[in-house]
Amino acid sequence: MTSEKITSTSITDHSGLAEQLLRVYENFADEFSRRDVPVHLSNVAREGKYLKGKKLGQHPERFVEQYLIWPTLELLDYECWAQPYGYPKWDKTRPDFAIKNFDCGLDCAVIGEVKTPNKFEYGKEQMEDYLKSDLGEATVGITTDGVRWNIEARPEKSPELLEVVDVNFHDVVRKLPSRHEERESYPSHRTRQEMEMVESLERETVEAGVSEVLTMATEN
Q: Is residue 4 part of a domain?
A: no
Q: Is residue 6 part of a domain?
A: no
| pLDDT given at position 133 | 84
Q: Is residue 3 part of a domain?
A: no
| pLDDT given at position 9 | 36
Query: For every one of its 220 residues, what pLDDT tens digit does the chain have, with 9 covering 90 and above?
Result: 334 444 443 333 335 999 999 999 999 999 999 999 999 999 999 999 999 999 999 999 999 999 999 999 999 999 999 998 877 665 677 899 999 999 999 999 999 999 999 999 999 999 999 898 877 899 999 999 999 999 999 999 999 999 999 999 999 999 999 888 765 676 677 777 778 889 999 999 999 999 999 999 887 7
Cα–Cα distance for residue pair 123/79, rounded to 1 Å: 21
Q: Is residue 2 part of a domain?
A: no
The string of pLDDT tens digits covering residues 121-154 is 999 999 999 898 877 899 999 999 999 999 999 9
Q: Is residue 7 part of a domain?
A: no
Residue 132: domain span? 15-219
| pLDDT given at position 3 | 45
**Domain count for the chain:** 1
Q: Is residue 43 part of a domain?
A: yes
Q: Is residue 9 part of a domain?
A: no
Give residues with Cβ within 8 angstroms of 77, minimum separation 6: 101, 202, 203, 204
CATH number assigned to the domain comprising residue 68: 3.90.1570
pTM of the full structure: 0.89
Burial 140-155 (b: 16+ CB within 10 A, else e): bbbbbbbbbbbbbbbb
Q: Is residue 173 part of a domain?
A: yes
| pLDDT given at position 219 | 79
| pLDDT given at position 11 | 37
